[in-house]
Structure 1
Amino acid sequence: MPDQPAYPPPPEDVLEIGAPEQFAALAHPLRQRLLFALGHRPATTSQLAGQLDAKKGNVAHHLKVLREAGLIHIAETRRVRGGTEQYFQRTARHMLVAEPQAAGTAAMLAAVAHELSRSPAETHLTLRHLRLSPEKARELGETLTRLVDDAEENAEEEPLHGVLVALYQQAPPAPSGTAVSAQDLR
């Protein structure tokens, strides 16, 4: 955007998510979408509301929750037409959730599903189940992380693509005769 000043990168490269208020903040799809939108450049409440097709007051509320959880900060303020315009930015380029919680994971997947449904280009979504030794699983995780990190071009004129990478070990099957509850499926 030509009227937007250049900003330095987020103050941290990696933020490890672990505090209860951070998990609570991540447990809403709009907050996930806001974090996605702030992934490459700071933006104002109005810019985010327009980009995400959301009400400005709703966006402002969710930005406040993210800010109080330490996931975003105000990168800059500018005086405009008698008011103050705030540019929000993520506090870290990468957010690492070492021990994901169900509500935050569900919100993230819901936000990604929303983005997939709005994509103007062909999307790729694959779920595979692989039998891997612990060493091979670690190696695959490191390779996937490196692949995604190395793919970034930093070309402002190119379209923005979302990438979701998940590598997890499936839980062992429940013993026969054990009922699966709705909670287990969440």
Structure 2
Amino acid sequence: MELRPGAYRVQHLKVLREAGLVRIAETRQIRGGTEQYYRRTARRIVVAEPQGAGTPAMFAAVAQELNHSPTETHLTLRHLKLSPAKAQQLGETLARLVDDAEEDADDQPVLGVLVTLYQQVGPTAGTA
């Protein structure tokens, strides 16, 4: 994953680095600057309370991985109207799908899976 220089990205990536969640995997000189390529340090990252600087950094990291994927990617955002009980059931089902996915041999490609379920903030004035 590559993150180009920029105060927003660099600051949030610093938070992930300091937390030990990413490490520099490679650097290269380009047009007078240095590009840094980062790699996760863990096979799985669970964000118990997604907020603050870590969440934008995680999404930026996922966006970079999507941009550099050598194969077709799948990204879907869907909004559902669900009761709290159904939302909890969906969250548990999604977590179980990821937890129960069996991995193949070490020589197979690594695929990233990002799962999130959240309640949207209600519409504000002037939005539909």
TM range (shorter): 0.5 to 0.7
Matches within 5 A, 1:46-125: 48-49=25-26, 54=27, 90=42, 94-125=44-75
Matched with 2:13 is: 28
Q: State whether residues 29 and 108 of structure 1, in contact with CA within 8 Å, keep that contact through their aligned partners in structure 2.
A: no
How far the C-alpha of 1:151 sits from its partner, in A, is 1.4
Q: State whether residues 141 and 167 of structure 1, in contact with CA within 8 Å, keep that contact through their aligned partners in structure 2.
A: yes
Matched with 1:158 is: 108
Normalised to the residue count of structure 2, the TM-score between the two structures is: 0.67
Deviations 1:118-177 (A, max 9, x none): 101110000000001111111111111110111131520110000011100001122x37
Q: Tell me the distance in 1 between the aligned counterparts of 2:66 and 2:45.
A: 21
Matched with 1:180 is: none
* Residue range with higher mean Cα deviation, 135-144 or 152-161: 152-161
How many residues in Structure 1 have an aligned counterpart in Structure 2? Answer: 110
How far the C-alpha of 1:97 sits from its partner, in A, is 2.1
Deviations 1:17-39 (A, max 9, x none): xxxxxxxxx9318947x847x8x
Higher relative contact order, structure no. (Cα contacts within 8 Å, ≥ 6 residues apart): 1
Matched with 1:17 is: none
Q: Tell me the distance in 1 between the aligned counterparts of 2:21 and 2:110.
A: 14
Q: Tell me the distance in 2 between the aligned counterparts of 1:137 and 1:105.
A: 21
Asked whether 1:168 is paired with 2:118, we answer: yes
Q: Tell me the distance in 2 between the aligned counterparts of 1:164 and 1:106.
A: 13
Q: Tell me the distance in 2 between the aligned counterparts of 1:120 and 1:29.
A: 27
Q: Tell me the distance in 2 between the aligned counterparts of 1:145 and 1:121.
A: 24
Q: Tell me the distance in 1 between the aligned counterparts of 2:110 and 2:21.
A: 14
Q: CA RMSD in A?
A: 3.6
Asked whether 1:133 is paired with 2:83, we answer: yes
Normalised to the residue count of structure 1, the TM-score between the two structures is: 0.48
Larger radius of gyration: 1
Q: State whether residues 91 and 117 of structure 2, in contact with CA within 8 Å, keep that contact through their aligned partners in structure 1.
A: yes
Determine what percentage of the aligned residue pairs are the same residue. 56
Name whichever structure is richer in helix by fraction: 1
Q: State whether residues 13 and 57 of structure 2, in contact with CA within 8 Å, keep that contact through their aligned partners in structure 1.
A: yes
